[in-house]
Amino acid sequence: MRLLKIIPDNTNIGFVRVRHIAFAITALLTVAALVLTVVRGLNLGVDFVGGVSIEEKFTTAPPLDEVRALVNGLGLGEAALQQLGGPNTITIRLPPPESSDPAAVDAMVEKVKAALAAKFPGASFSNYSTVSGKVSGELVQNGILAVLLAIIGIAIFSWFRYEWQFGVSTAVAIIHDVLMTIGFFALTQLVFDLNIVAAVLTIIGYSINDKMVIDDRIRENMRKFRKMGMRELIDLSVNETLPRTVMTSLTIMLALASLLIWGGHVLRGFASAMMLGIVVGTYSSVYVSSSLLITLGLKPGFREAKADASNAERVAPRDLP
């Protein structure tokens, strides 16, 4: 059977040559993501803001203003509405009831169900979820703490495994990936809930795996080709791992596309975040973290290069076939 090769062997693409352009694009996108997040904010799900989220299906697309006015008129607090997976399904988010009695939530849900069924014949209740304000605050803190600890831990691991430049470049690339994902949710106003936090942590895991493969190859090549310049050596390393990087990204994207199309609205946010994370993670691995090693002053005098003098002394990238 013939092997499928999307990226041919022995590519010789000059990634480092365009690193200043890549750095400028990365900086602009990062600033844009931060501005979007500050100005527009995130559409936080009930996991983070607390309250009751009711999902209702209608036979035809209902006028949102009428639904909002109807629910607000029930005296349960100000309702926030959002369409899910199409115009016929709506999520109605309400503040938590004043009473801590679980029966109060059931009464609230039943009141909304009855009002909607009377106003919109054929409307059917799907499900509801509820989170208290105290729990939501703890979830916010724990979610942020989980992401920060993941970034710090990975940076420290890269530092000890390689050199401090690898730790810094990896942390910068991962922060970039996380900010791009958050900026995407600020732009699209998709619901940002605990599923998305799980997606962000998964993106970090994918991104660090991709970067470790390239960093390992850079270290191996520093041992082999001690007289080669860093630019040529990084280009060589990225080109050698490029087929693996592209093939891995494409296969994951195929699986995520299936989730996006057939997974329903519950998985839509998670699949969207993961797909974006794969794209920006691959970009940052190829164009940002590796090239940043040069800016940070990594030189062939790498500590392990001194320990093991092996093989040939190639001083330039391989020739094109």
Give the C-alpha separation, 312 to 79, whole Å. Answer: 70
Distance set, CA 150 to CA 19, 22, 177, 298 (Å): 26, 25, 13, 24
Task: Please check whether residue 178 is in contact with residue 253, taking contact to mean a CB–CB distance below 8 angstroms.
Answer: no
* Mean pLDDT, rounded, of the chain: 80
SS (H, E, C) 228-254: CCHHHHHHHHHHHHHHHHHHHHHHHHH
Over residues 96-122, the pLDDT tens digits come to 777 767 677 788 888 888 888 888 888
Q: How confident is the model at residue 1 (pLDDT cuts 50, 70, 90)?
A: very low
Write down the CATH number for the domain with range 15-42+136-296: 1.20.1640.10
Q: Are 39 and 62 in contact (CB under 8 A)?
A: no
**Percent of the residues in the chain that have a pLDDT greater than 90, as a whole number:** 3
Q: What is the pTM of this model?
A: 0.72
Q: How far is CA 148 from CA 26, 136, 145, 292, in A?
A: 20, 18, 5, 21
Q: Which of 126-135, 242-251, 274-283, 303-312 has the lowest mean pLDDT?
A: 303-312
Per-residue confidence (pLDDT) for residue 316, from 0 to 100: 52
Where along the chain do its domains lie? 15-42+136-296, 51-131
321 band by pLDDT with thresholds 50, 70 and 90? very low
The token duo for 74 is 């029930």
Residues 168-225: tens digit of each pLDDT: 888 888 888 888 988 988 898 887 877 788 888 888 888 888 888 888 888 888 888 8
Instruction: Report whether 296 contacts 196 (CB < 8 A).
Output: no
Rounded CA separation 178/155 (Å): 14
pLDDT reported for residue 31:
92
What is the pLDDT, as a whole number, of residue 135? 62
Q: Which of 178-187, 282-291, 312-321 has the lowest mean pLDDT?
A: 312-321
Mean pLDDT of 296-312: 59
DSSP string of 137-148, one letter each residue: HHHHHHHHHHHH
The pLDDT > 70 percentage for the chain reads 87
Q: Which pLDDT value is given to residue 127?
A: 76
| Whole-angstrom distance, CA of residue 90 vs CA of residue 73 | 18
Number of other CB atoms surrounding residue 149 within 10 Å: 10
pLDDT band per the 50, 70, 90 thresholds, residue 312: very low
pLDDT of residue 134: 61
pLDDT at 28: 93
Cβ contact 240:217 at 8 Å? yes
Instruction: Tokens 């732009």: give the residue.
Output: 187
Would you state the pLDDT for residue 302?
A: 53
pLDDT confidence band for 81 (50 / 70 / 90): confident
Q: Which residue has the higher pLDDT, 317 or 5?
A: 5
95 class by beta-carbon count within 10 Å (0-12 exposed, 13-18 middle, 19+ buried): middle
Q: pLDDT tens digit string along 25-48?
A: 989 999 999 999 899 888 877 777
* 3-class secondary-structure state, position 204: helix
In CATH terms, is domain 51-131 a member of 3.30.70.3400? Answer: yes
